[in-house]
Amino acid sequence: MYTPCIDDFIVKIYLRDNNSMLAQAEVKIGPLKVIGFRIMKNKVEFEGDSIYVAEPKIKLGERYLSIVFLEDKSLWVALQNKIKETYREEIDNQTSEKGVIDPSEIDI
């Protein structure tokens, strides 16, 4: 049986900033692409982190059901961390592309 490692997952981020949803993520592993992961703001900091990753869900009646599930809990945690890391890299790239200037770099 094939057991994926975290390096097999390719993550793409789509920035949103819609209330508590900061971005959406697409995760690809081989020929399988899963869309609908959400990067959300935590109302309170949890374990030193102000964001969390919510897996794709569908609404069934009054409940929301997860439609993606990784049986290996350590792989799920690693995927969440990779999504958050990729999100932070995308934010850093957006900031540097906007030409933010560090005032200490300006000669007066």
CATH number of 19's domain: 3.30.1120
Residue 93: inside a domain: yes
Q: What angle do CA 34, 70, 24 make, to 5 degrees?
A: 35
29 versus 96: the higher-pLDDT residue is 29
Domain count across the chain: 1
Residue 107 in any domain: the answer is: no
In a domain, 103, yes or no: no
Q: Is residue 10 classed as helix, strand or coil in its secondary structure?
A: strand
Cβ–Cβ < 8 Å for 55, 43: no
- pLDDT at residue 106 is higher than 70: no
pLDDT of 6 above 90: yes
Can you tell me whether residue 100 is helix, strand or coil? coil
% of residues, the chain, pLDDT over 90:
61
Alpha-carbon gap, residue 47 to 50, rounded angstroms: 9
Q: What share of the chain has pLDDT > 70, as a percent?
A: 87
Q: What is the DSSP letter of 89?
A: H
**Is 33 within the bounds of a domain?**
yes
Enclosing domain of residue 34: 6-98
